[in-house]
Chains A and B, each alone.
Chain A
């Protein structure tokens, strides 16, 4: 029982990282911390895939007549290379948005920003005093 529980410790790590990441995304009000959480969440999935590919005692997947042994599955690694690229793109876009939000609102705390938005929305809709467009 104990050996089978400890034997899959990779999955425990994946599970813990996943929950930490998801908690940061949902629970934190700071926009930057949310992105940190998202990155941790995605990294946990990378680990999950790599774990699937590993076989105990498996060699690297090299085609060779003389080596007659089991080898680890290379496909998850390739998939994760793609997922890492996607993750980097997501993080970069997210960070650039946070940067822009900081210059426009002067804050990256969700509470501050929604308070400012609420004022704008009220001005816009209830009083009809619409904000003029910046262009033209």
Chain B
């Protein structure tokens, strides 16, 4: 029994939310549909923890789907790189599901709640499948499963604010164009190599270095994934989608959705195309590197001038994605590790901030803007305290998780002799303090309406859990740092 379980862990991680999503939709009761969702996300998290332990022993698990052997059948690959986004997605989705219990009925009418939970699980299954699959076309299918489910989830925000519909529509159109571009790229590669398996692809493209179809296919794939990962000029869909989605959905999407695509970006750049070094170096230097630098500043400045808090956090996400892609663009082992460290830390930081802001919105029963935050810090000490800790973590103060990722990022830039990049990172972090302080000042310093708010433990429990992790991984980051360095070593080997 245990043996069967451990053998099939890589597929169970994806199947568990996928299958329960079919059952959740049948349950009319709000409470029981939530219980089933929580159980399913908890099991998924448990499976991913077990998978993490397996990875420590075997370091590479290949799972042939339906016993069709790899180059021909679909293969699921889990290695030390893939386990990082798997843990992030399953962990955050578990915490977000706990958070959703009280928030979800507030924003969505009762009869559609079980459908929302079904879509919720479908989105999680799509994201996990995206990360585990080793087949280029299967990846497209999961990309569409996750993005169609997320679009429908964002559109559920229309019961509160009709702008959610336009946000969802834009997300759908831009996402579908991105996914189609990715398919064109896969098609071109299939045309010249005759395989869809990623490892097989790596071996077969090593012979055709300057093939034009290879370069075109690579370009299409990268652009398609960059749309999904919201890399700077392709991020237009992100702020609106996060701002108008139902609160619990913004927590889930903000913390997980772009992480999976960023991982795919890293895998295409450093693993699938590892043999066409010239192509990769040009892409990193002339495309991803400048875009990340612009993203760091554009995102931060947009956030400073934004007054709607959820949009503000979404703009800040664009800047943080810029840090991660910058780390990939530098392309040394230390910097790629820093990228993965920040990927993990950003998930828990943004998750925490979104939970804090949406619980404020839950108590004041209004759209959270900078004006109606005044004086709330005194009325809600627990939520405010966690919010401040997460903000400090985002700004990168010592003893928080954000500090660790900034530290390793700056160390990596200095060791690759690019001091000016380190200075740019520091300036951008300093600017991020401006918008964080703006919020804290309004909440704490300004006199607000005299309201008494009784904080609800079902809501602040998940906030406390995630804030605890923000502090814990700031004090003892060895788990994340070691995992990321092993991942980076697996990705680029000892070449550089």
Contact = CB atoms under 8 A, between A and B. Distances in A.
Interface stretch (B34-42, B176-184, B197-205): B176-184
B109 A124 contact: no
Given A82-B137, A133-B365, A25 B173 contact: yes
Interface stretch (B267-275, B366-374, B488-496): B366-374
Interface string B83-114: 00000000000000000000000111100000
A60 to B, nearest CB: 19
Most chain B CB within a 10 A radius of its CB, from A31, A120, A124: A124
B68 to A, nearest CB: 13
Contacts of B366: 130, 132-133
B307 interface: yes
Interface string A109-125: 00001100100110011
Contact of A125 (B159, B172, B371): B371
Given A45-B187, A130-B367, A136-B365, A93 B159 contact: no
B144 A90 contact: yes
A135 B361 CA distance: 14
18 contacts: A18-B184, A25-B173, A38-B173, A45-B180, A52-B191, A76-B190, A90-B148, A90-B176, A94-B169, A94-B172, A97-B165, A98-B169, A104-B165, A114-B166, A117-B166, A131-B367, A133-B107, A135-B159
A86 B155 contact: no
A28 to B, nearest CB: 11
Nearest to B306: A125
A34 B367 contact: no
Interface in A8-28: 18, 22, 25
A56 interface: no
B177 A22 contact: yes
B161 interface: yes
Contacts of B162: 104-105
A128 B372 contact: yes
Contacts of A25: 173, 177
Interface of A: 18, 22, 25, 31, 34-35, 38, 41-42, 45, 48-49, 52, 76, 79, 82-83, 86, 89-90, 93-94, 97-98, 100-101, 104-105, 113-114, 117, 120-121, 124-126, 128, 130-136
B15 to A, nearest CB: 18
Contact of B187 (A48, A82, A136): A48
B187 A100 contact: no
Given A25-B177, A86-B144, A90-B148, A79 B169 contact: no
B60 interface: no
Given A45-B180, A101-B166, A133-B160, A128 B371 contact: yes
B166 to A, nearest CB: 6
Interface in B143-176: 144, 148, 151-152, 155, 158-163, 165-166, 168-169, 172-173, 176
Given A82-B137, A100-B155, A128-B372, 18 more contacts: A38-B177, A42-B180, A45-B183, A49-B187, A52-B187, A94-B176, A97-B169, A100-B165, A101-B166, A101-B169, A104-B158, A114-B166, A117-B163, A125-B369, A128-B371, A131-B161, A135-B107, A136-B365
Interface of B: 106-109, 137, 140-141, 144, 148, 151-152, 155, 158-163, 165-166, 168-169, 172-173, 176-177, 179-180, 183-184, 187, 190-191, 307-308, 365-367, 369-372
B interface majority secondary structure: helix
Contact of B155 (A18, A49, A97, A134): A97
Contacts of B152: 93
B141 A86 contact: yes
B22 to A, nearest CB: 16
Contacts of B184: 18, 45, 48
A132 B364 CA distance: 11
Contacts of A83: 140, 183
Nearest to B151: A93
B363 to A, nearest CB: 12
Contact of A134 (B160, B168, B177, B371): B160
Contacts of A52: 187, 190-191
A34 B144 CA distance: 18
A79 B187 CA distance: 10
A38 B176 contact: yes
A101 B162 CA distance: 8
